[in-house]
């Protein structure tokens, strides 16, 4: 495989497809071989010195035994590094080699190479294909020139120079360590980490990057609600409507997890072209926009999927007025880049297009099957009842948790304050009629913690309520699992 020629060819095709837009210069260097002494350093020096001005340099890097990786470097107008990432899409060895990191820090002393998160990992036999894929994705994301006036460009360059001078001053008293895997950059470089570097494999909610939060604050401070006097400090009064909008946006972002993103990605790639696939693709791309994972969720992809959705709606004769109106409204949100409202509308639209999400149903069944295995062939107590009846609260009481009476949002509520069994942390309670339990949760209760005269244990199972509020997929999956658990 001649990866250099393949990249040059596809970059040329990208230029031709976007002839109305300008791209910054892109250089693809010859592959560097890890086993050839000095070849990597030579390529890095060439990337640094052979050209000037704003540019992108791609360096294929062969680790041997068909293990191909890539280095992406973007330079600013003044020649300093703006962004540098290492692509290593091999499942078993997807870190940054020590020698590479040390060589990079030797050539670019004020910058740290970052590890690119690859959504798809594979074996060494397909590493060349995946490396090309992610290098081209970076090019598409960062190579297009935005329209800036000369004045703005000069101001930006001056600001960058001042920032670099300040960073240099700060770094004089800091001993900067090197890290073998590229996941712990020096403190001064944290602001350069791409937003996608904050996405881990856990299922914790994905949050907006601090950089973009500061941008939001700047934007708020520029609104006309600010009043300034000579004798008093500046104060900003944010209207209630704006605060509600921000809270709503935070709730939307908190509902996006790495697990949900991965599920959308898998569902999208497992389906043929249809309106359902287009809606899932839009859900995925817009969720990426909201989590600042823009290397995937770029605006061009969103616009293409929107056009595909419109065509599919027509060909599938989905002429219901509410669906057509939703698609028109969605177009407006996307045009205005109102991603939060677009995501809310897409979720409603998906329920119209796909009343039963088969993908989620199978995922839920797999999860509840795991719980069924825990209670198989054992004596158990099943807590059954409608949503909000108090099954989870009862379980806490029976398991010996300390209960207290309180008020939440004006509603009387008895909640667990302290518990001895750590498994009870997964059993949540609420004063509302909304289901807090999505799957069967088996809890082993040591009776000695409850009744001093007993030394044995029992299993009590918390279950989702009948008429569950989490959707038909959860209801069906739990119905199946409850029947299986009772039979076994």
Q: Are residues 259 and 380 in the same domain?
A: no
Q: Are residues 24 and 99 in the same domain?
A: yes
Task: State the pLDDT confidence band at 46, using cuts at 50, 70 and 90.
Answer: very high
Highest mean pLDDT among 99-103, 110-114, 123-127: 99-103
Average pLDDT rounded to a whole number, residues 85-114? 83
Task: State the pLDDT confidence band at 433, using cuts at 50, 70 and 90.
Answer: low
**Residue 414 belongs to some domain of the structure:** yes
Structure token pair of residue 323: 């669906």
Statement: residue 148 has pLDDT above 50: no
**Count of positions (residues) in the chain:** 488
Statement: residue 57 has pLDDT above 90: yes
Statement: residue 187 has pLDDT above 50: no
Supply the pLDDT for residue 253.
54
Q: Are residues 167 and 133 in the same domain?
A: yes
Statement: residue 480 has pLDDT above 70: yes
Q: pLDDT (tens digit, 9 = 90+) per residue, 233-286?
A: 433 444 444 444 444 555 555 567 777 888 888 888 888 888 888 899 899 888
Supply the pLDDT for residue 243.
46
Q: pLDDT (tens digit, 9 = 90+) per residue, 294-310?
A: 544 468 888 888 888 88
Average pLDDT rounded to a whole number, residues 26-34? 91
Q: Are residues 298 and 447 in the same domain?
A: no
Supply the pLDDT for residue 356.
86
Statement: residue 291 has pLDDT above 50: yes
Task: State the pLDDT confidence band at 41, using cuts at 50, 70 and 90.
Answer: very high
Q: Are residues 14 and 81 in the same domain?
A: yes
Supply the pLDDT for residue 155.
44
**Residue 337 belongs to some domain of the structure:** yes
Q: What is the 3-state secondary structure (H, E, C) of the chain?
A: CCHHHHHHHHHHHHHHHCCCCCECCEEECCCEECCCCCHHHHHHHHHHHCCCCCEEEEEEEECCCCCEEEEEEEECCCCCEEEEEEECCECCCCCCCHHHHHHHHHHCCCCCCEECCCCCCECHHHHHHHHHHHHHHHHHHHCECCCCCHHHHHHHHHHHHHHHHHHHHHHCCCCCCCCCCCCCCCHHHHHHCCHHHHCCCCCCECCCCHHHHHHHHHHHHCCCCEECCCCCCCEECCCHHHHHHHHHHHHHHHCCEHHHHHHHHHHHHCCCCCHHHHHHHHHHHHHHHHCCCCCCCCHHHHHHHHHHHHHHHHHCCCCCHHHHHHHHHHHHHHHCCCHHHHHHHHHHHHHHHCCCCHHHHHHHHHHHHHHHHHHCCCCEEECCCECCCCHHHHHHHHCCCEEEEEEECCEEEEEEEECCCHHHHHCCCCCCCCCCCCCCEEEEEEHHHCCCCCCCEEEEEECCCECCCCCHHHHHHHHHHHHHHHHC
Portion of the chain with pLDDT greater than 70, in percent: 68
Statement: residue 156 has pLDDT above 50: no
67/366 Cα distance (integer angstroms):
35
Q: Are residues 21 and 162 in the same domain?
A: yes
Statement: residue 224 has pLDDT above 50: no
Number of domains in the chain: 3
Statement: residue 175 has pLDDT above 70: no
Domain boundary among 192, 209, 230: 192
Give the CATH number for residue 50. Answer: 3.40.395
Q: Are residues 305 and 351 in the same domain?
A: yes
Supply the pLDDT for residue 141.
85
Domain boundary among 171, 192, 213: 192
Statement: residue 181 has pLDDT above 80: no
**Residue 247 belongs to some domain of the structure:** no
Q: Which of 126-140, 220-234, 369-383 has the lowest mean pLDDT?
A: 220-234
Task: State the pLDDT confidence band at 56, using cuts at 50, 70 and 90.
Answer: very high
Q: Are residues 29 and 148 in the same domain?
A: yes
Whether 464 and 439 have beta carbons less than 8 Å apart is answered as yes
Supply the pLDDT for residue 28.
93
Q: Are residues 305 and 392 in the same domain?
A: no
Task: State the pLDDT confidence band at 421, using cuts at 50, 70 and 90.
Answer: confident
**Largest CA-CA distance found in the chain, in angstroms, rounded:** 83
266/252 Cα distance (integer angstroms):
21
Statement: residue 195 has pLDDT above 50: no
Q: Are residues 264 and 411 in the same domain?
A: no
88/115 Cα distance (integer angstroms):
8
Q: Are residues 52 and 68 in the same domain?
A: yes
Domain boundary among 303, 321, 355: 355
Q: Are residues 30 and 159 in the same domain?
A: yes
**Residue 473 belongs to some domain of the structure:** yes
Supply the pLDDT for residue 242.
47
Supply the pLDDT for residue 468.
58
Average pLDDT rounded to a whole number, residues 190-216? 38
Containing domain of residue 38, as a range? 3-192
Q: Which of 4-13, 174-183, 427-436, 447-456 has the lowest mean pLDDT?
A: 174-183
**Residue 172 belongs to some domain of the structure:** yes
CB-based burial label for 283 (10 Å; 0-12, 13-18, 19+): buried
Average pLDDT rounded to a whole number, residues 76-105? 84
**Residue 262 belongs to some domain of the structure:** yes
More confident residue, 13 or 370: 13
Count of other CB atoms within 10 angstroms of residue 197: 19
**Residue 232 belongs to some domain of the structure:** no
Please give the model's pTM, rounded to 2 decimal places.
0.42
**Residue 212 belongs to some domain of the structure:** no
Task: Supply the mean pLDDT for the chain.
Answer: 73
Backbone angles phi, psi at 285, to 5 degrees: -65, -40
């Amino acid at each position: 495989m001649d990866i250099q020629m393949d990249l040059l060819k596809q970059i040329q095709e990208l230029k031709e497809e976007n002839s109305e837009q300008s791209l910054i210069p892109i250089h693809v260097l010859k592959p560097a071989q890890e086993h050839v002494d000095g070849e990597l350093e030579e390529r890095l020096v060439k990337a640094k010195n052979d050209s000037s001005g704003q540019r992108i340099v791609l360096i294929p890097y062969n680790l041997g035994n068909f293990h191909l990786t890539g280095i992406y470097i973007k330079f600013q107008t003044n020649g300093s590094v703006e962004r540098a990432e290492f692509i290593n899409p091999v499942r078993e060895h997807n870190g940054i080699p020590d020698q590479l990191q040390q060589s990079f820090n030797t050539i670019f002393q004020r910058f740290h190479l970052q590890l690119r998160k690859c959504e798809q990992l594979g074996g060494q036999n397909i590493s060349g294909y995946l490396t090309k894929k992610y290098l081209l994705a970076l090019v598409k994301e960062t190579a297009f020139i935005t329209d800036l006036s000369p004045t703005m460009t000069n101001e930006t360059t001056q600001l960058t120079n001042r920032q670099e001078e300040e960073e240099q001053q700060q770094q004089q008293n800091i001993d900067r360590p090197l890290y073998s895997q590229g996941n712990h950059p020096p403190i001064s470089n944290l602001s350069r980490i791409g937003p996608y570097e904050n996405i881990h494999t856990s299922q914790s909610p994905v949050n907006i990057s601090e950089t973009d939060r500061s941008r939001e604050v700047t934007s708020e401070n520029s609104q006309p609600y600010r009043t300034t006097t000579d004798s008093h400090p500046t104060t900003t009064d944010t209207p209630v409507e704006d605060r509600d909008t921000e809270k709503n946006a935070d709730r939307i972002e908190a509902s996006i997890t790495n697990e949900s993103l991965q599920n959308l990605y898998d569902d999208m790639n497992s389906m043929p072209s249809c309106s359902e696939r287009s809606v899932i693709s839009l859900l995925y791309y817009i969720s990426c926009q909201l989590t600042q994972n823009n290397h995937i969720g770029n605006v061009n992809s969103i616009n293409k999927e929107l056009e595909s959705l419109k065509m599919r709606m027509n060909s599938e004769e989905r002429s219901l007025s509410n669906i057509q109106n939703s698609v028109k409204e969605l177009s407006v949100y996307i045009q205005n880049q109102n991603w939060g409202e677009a995501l809310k509308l897409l979720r409603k639209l998906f329920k119209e297009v796909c009343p039963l999400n088969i993908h989620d149903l199978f995922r839920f069944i797999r999860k509840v099957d795991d719980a069924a295995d825990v209670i198989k062939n054992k004596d158990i107590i099943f807590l059954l009842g409608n949503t909000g009846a108090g099954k989870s609260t009862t379980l806490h009481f029976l398991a010996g948790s300390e209960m207290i009476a309180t008020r939440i949002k004006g509603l009387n509520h008895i909640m667990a304050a302290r518990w001895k069994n750590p498994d009870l942390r997964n059993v949540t309670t609420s004063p509302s009629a909304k289901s807090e339990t999505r799957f069967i949760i088996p809890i082993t209760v040591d009776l000695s913690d409850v009744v001093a005269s007993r030394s044995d244990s029992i299993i009590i199972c918390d279950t989702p309520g009948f008429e569950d509020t989490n959707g038909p997929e959860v209801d069906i999956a739990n119905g199946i699992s409850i029947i299986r658990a009772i039979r076994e």
